[in-house]
Structure 1
């Protein structure tokens, strides 16, 4: 299963506002309003008093992530991005994913529930993939999720994976809706020179 956004000249690709909103909230919670306001103001056209409510230009997200990683350092930057992703998943469950769909996944065996969630992620990939290409593949151990031309880490160079925002979002969704022991790990990253950002989803299932 895959969904793809083809790049086009002069196109401003957009993604959901939570990539900015939840990262700003996380920075406020752990680093203070001054740090959050500074990084936000240097990176985007938004302020803490006027955070986005609609889709945002992916370039602003990229710049915000880059500034956070440079300012906070690799480990603290990853922690902030991962928590922002988890906060995004919590927001999606509260405001975007229908209650009946959530209930259906929670009472369905994990393999089938994961299939349901992956289909929903595919259908809504336009809200978070931007100009990237998102592909999901379910397998016996769990699932593999991939971004090519990843929006989140574009422009970054790193010695370890940096797309913790996506890892945090996916892991929180899967733990809450499919299997509480799920683990989502990024095993390849474009920032490291790989051809894609790859996330492995693993969890124990009953047979």
Structure 2
């Protein structure tokens, strides 16, 4: 897998979610040991995807799959909140829930497709319209080298789910249905309007 770059939110929001649960000292140690980033000076620019991979793996290794999945889901939701507050125009946030569900999903999927460079690193991304829509990442950076009995890319599921709820309506949803960590050929997410 070619090393790519990924947006800093996976580090920033995971650090915040960990701090809320573990406290600043334990979070600072885990963050430094896995990424060489200081909790007081989190990155603001794109980072090497290997740092995101290392942080996710460190959370899983140190605290187990149940805790890690919960933290990464929260980190993803916080990233969705960040995107809604700072990246997605307010008129789009107002308009999308008013559109027919299929049209709203196509618009959201198109926007996600234009921004894969910010979250997918070196993964190959394939988007399939529909309700539910499908987002597929092959060579996913967040579960690289991990083995699990269930899908564990909860950062992405949390982000996609938060965006679906805000932009498609309160019944909007997303879930990971296959995962490379489980031995599947790709990490595959479904996103639906729930309408």
When normalised by structure 1's length, the TM-score is 0.90
1:148 aligned to which of 104, 126, 138: 138
* 1:63 pairs with 2:63: no
1:48-197 equivalences in 2 (<5 Å): 48-139=39-130, 141-197=131-187
Give the SS at the match of 1:49: helix
Q: Which runs of 5+ in 2 are unaligned?
A: none
Q: Which runs of 5+ in 1 are unaligned?
A: 1-6
Give the SS at the match of 1:187: strand
After superposing the two structures, state which structure 1 stretch, 31-40 or 121-130, moved more: 31-40
Computed over aligned residues only, the root mean square deviation of the Cα atoms, in angstroms, reads 1.2
Q: Please report how far the alpha carbon of residue 183 of structure 1 lies from its aligned counterpart in structure 2 after TM superposition.
A: 2.4
Q: Please report how far the alpha carbon of residue 204 of structure 1 lies from its aligned counterpart in structure 2 after TM superposition.
A: 3.0
* 1:51-97 Cα deviation digits (max 9, x unpaired): 00000100000000000011111001000000000000000111111
Paired residue total: 195
2:37 aligned to which of 23, 38, 46: 46
Query: Matches of 2:30 and 2:61 in 1, distance apart?
Result: 10
Q: Is the 8 A contact 2:97 2:168 kept in 1?
A: yes
When normalised by structure 2's length, the TM-score is 0.96
Structure 1 residue runs of 4+, over 3 Å off? none
Partner of 1:4: none
Q: Is the 8 A contact 2:101 2:193 kept in 1?
A: no
Partner of 1:3: none
Query: Matches of 2:28 and 2:84 in 1, distance apart?
Result: 27
* 1:69-127 Cα deviation digits (max 9, x unpaired): 11111001000000000000000111111112222213222221111110000000011
Higher helix share: 2
